[in-house]
Amino acid sequence: MKNDAGNLAVVPQTHKVLGEWRHESGGMFDLLADLQTTLDIAQLLQMFSEHLQASVPHEGYGFHNPLLNLDLEQGREAHHHCSYTLKLQDETLGEWRMRRDRRFSQADLEITENLLSHLLYPLRNCLRYREAVCYAHTDPLTQVGNRIALLSQIQREIDLARRHGTPFAVVFLDIDHFKAINDTHGHAAGDAVLRSVAHSVKQVVRSTDGVFRYGGEEFVVLFSHVGRRDALSLAERIRQAVAAQAHPVGEDGATLTVTVSLGLALLAPGESPMALMNRADQAMYKAKRLGRNRVAMA
């Protein structure tokens, strides 16, 4: 794939092509006004792309921000592309990528750079809003979703499962003998184990699965589009991954081996989110009674 622009830093600026673009597309003010109407990053970039299409036609675009785990892509692949690192007051906002079938001319790149400079402030507002929302829905210790995020997502997933007639499962996960870890090694070691277990779970689940800290040493995983057999297999993968990991508990390199007990429940017709989670929770306690370090089915 041909890269016509390289990787350039775009900062607020004014280009001589501004008047030309205003004449072709109907006005800079329309763009600026539209970019102030949303705090949703995907919607913002789509509006920007639509305005840019009038002067610089393109088949697709993308935006990447690794700090917020953002990798948005729209449109189709093409032979030529350009990319820009977007910066505002020494703050890197992310990378804008654009592609099309024919080569970008110098005039195309100048128009793109000019318009991107007007995207920076609205984009920063969207990123800060997304960051605030993420913090409000993220457990600060383990960096997985918190209970607020869980209750919001499980309702959406159940609604989708019922609308499309697809299966949905919930797993409750509890670290075995966690109180003994705190009592023996201290709460700092317990916190380290919580972080490490959360990381182990995220490493083995699918990108479409949700991982949340429910409270204390309990976690919840949401499995969409999986029936009983696949859900049991995924839960077993989690159990094995945690048990196989040497979990660091201190700066001196000390590690602990821990296990988890898991309870699995599949969504039943007409079941509420709380009823489904309660069945998964009870299945987890069943796994505890059966000897821990195992998966039990509701």
Q: Any alpha helices (H) in the chain, and if so which ranges? A: 18-25, 28-35, 41-53, 106-136, 147-164, 178-185, 187-204, 228-244, 273-289
* Start-to-end C-alpha separation, the chain: 51
Q: Determine phi and psi for 41, rounding to 5 degrees.
A: -65, -45
Pairing of strands 168-175, 70-75: unpaired
Active-site annotation holds for 217: yes
Residue-wise burial string across 252-269, b where 16 or more C-beta atoms lie within 10 A, e elsewhere: eeeebebebbbbbbbbee
Select from 25, 14, 46 the least CA-distant residue to 122: 46
Chain center to CA of 72 = 11
Q: Which of 59, 217, 218, 236 is catalytic?
A: 217
The catalytic site residues sit at: 217
